Amino acid sequence: MLRKAIAFAALGLFLTAGPVLAGTTEKEPQNVHWSFEGPFGKFDTAQVQRGYKVYREVCSACHAMEQMYFRNLGQKGGPFYDPEFKNPNDNPYVKSLAKDIQVKDIDSDTGDVIQRAAGTADRFPSPFPNEPAARASNGGALPPDLSVIVKAREGGPQYIYSLLTGFRNPPAGLTLGAGLHYNPWFPGDLSSSWSGAHDKVPEGGAIAMAPPLAAGKVTFDDKSPSTVEQQAKDVVAFLAWASDPKATERKQFGVGAMIYLLIFSVLLWFSYRRVWRNIGH
C-alpha cells in the first residue's frame, strides 16, 4: 500500500521533471559532486566564502541579488557565521565586508541622494538602477537576479556550473550576432544562425553574457588554485547557499522529524496490533 503511495508520488515527480521544449536544445548538465547534496549534505563554509568573493568581484558587476542582505552572510548557516556573534549584525567581519560596498541612501538633513558605506542591514546593492539601464548596458539582454538562481533553473547547481565553464568557440558554420556567445549548455535554438546541414544544428544557444570567469581572475585568500573550474564551483556553492540559506537547518530538522515519525509509527503499529488482537477481520 505504502509502496504504491510512494510510487504514485514518485510518478508525480517524474511528471514534473518531464517537459522537454520543442525546438530548444541544450547539453545535459555535467555531473558535478556537491557537498550540499543529499539529505545529510552541508555547505562547505570555505567554499561558500570563496564563492562570495567570486560573486562580489565578478558577478556583482552585472547581477543583482535583491533577496540578500549583508547580515545573511553572518547568520547561522551562512559563510561568515561566528558563534561568538549570534546576532550577525554584531559580527565584525560581516560589518567590514559590508563596509567595502557603497550603497545609495537619502541624506536625512538635505534629502539629497548620497553614497555611503553599507551596513549589515543593507541589501546587496543592484548594479543597475532599473531594467532598461541593465538592458542598455548588456546589449539588450537582462542579467537575471541571482538570489534564487540555483532553484530557478532546471538542473540547478549542475546547470549553472556547466554554463559558467561551458563557453566554447562556435563550430564552423555557426555565425552569431555581435555580443552573443556560443554555449552548448544554454538552452536555445541555433538553427537560424547555422549554415551547415539541417540535421546537424549544434546543441545549445547563444548567450549575451561573455565568459565571466578566467584563470587568475579572483585571488583566493586560502591559496586555492584560481582556475575557471574552481571559481565556478565556488560561486555555484555560494549561489546555492543564497538560494536556500535554510537548507542545512531544514535537513537537520528533517532527520529529527523522520526519526520521531518512524518511532511514532512503530509504536502505533504495535498499538494497532494490540487493540485489534481479538477482532477477526
Partner 1 sequence: MSGHSTYEPKSGFERWLDVRLPILRFANDTVVTFPTPKNLNYWYTFGGILALMLGIQIVTGIVLAMHYVPHIDMAFNSVQRIKRDVNYGWLIQGMHANGASMFFLAVYVHMFRGLYYGSYKAPREVLWLLGCVIYLLMIITGFFGYVLPWGQMSFHGAVVITNLIGALPIVGPAITTWLWGGFAVDDATLNRFFSLHYLLPFVIAGVVALHIWALHVPGNSNPKGVEVKSDADTVPFHPYYTVKDGFAISVFLLLYASFVFFAPDILGDAVNYVKANPLVTPAHIVPEWYLLPFYAILRAVPDKLLGVLTMGGAIACLFVLPWLDTSKVRSMRYRPAIRLWYFIFFVVCIILGFCGAHAPDDQLIRGVAGMQIGDANINSFVWLSRFATLYYFAYFLVITPLIGLTETPLPVPESISEPILSHPAAMPAGAAASPEMRG
**Interacting residues toward partner 1 by CB under 8 A:** 1-2, 5-6, 8-9, 11-13, 15-22, 24, 39, 66-67, 72, 144-145, 147-148, 151-154, 156, 243, 245-246, 249-251, 253-255, 257-258, 261-262, 264-265, 268-269, 271-272, 275-276, 279-281
Q: Compare residues 7 and 215 and give the one whose CB is closer to partner 1.
A: 7
- C-beta of 93: minimal distance to partner 1 in Å? 21
Q: Compare residues 57 and 249 and give the one whose CB is closer to partner 1.
A: 249
Return the C-alpha cell found at 6: 510512494
Q: Compare residues 89 and 224 and give the one whose CB is closer to partner 1.
A: 89
Q: Compare residues 111 and 140 and give the one whose CB is closer to partner 1.
A: 140
Contacts with 120 (C-beta within 8 Å, 6 or more apart), sequence order: 69, 70, 71, 74, 88, 89, 91, 94, 95, 98
- C-beta of 244: minimal distance to partner 1 in Å? 8
- C-beta of 108: minimal distance to partner 1 in Å? 25
For 93-121, give the secondary structure using H, E and C: HHHHHHHCCEEEEECCCCCCEEEEECCCC
Q: Compare residues 101 and 247 and give the one whose CB is closer to partner 1.
A: 247
Q: In 52-162, at which residue ranges do the beta strands (DSSP E only) sit?
A: 102-106, 113-117
- C-beta of 239: minimal distance to partner 1 in Å? 12
Instruction: Identify which of 54, 41, 126, 122 has the alpha carbon closest to the alpha carbon of residue 88.
Output: 122
- C-beta of 107: minimal distance to partner 1 in Å? 26
Q: Helix axis angle, 45-57 relative to 228-243, nearest 10°?
A: 100
Instruction: Identify which of 31, 28, 59, 96 has the alpha carbon closest to the alpha carbon of residue 242.
Output: 59
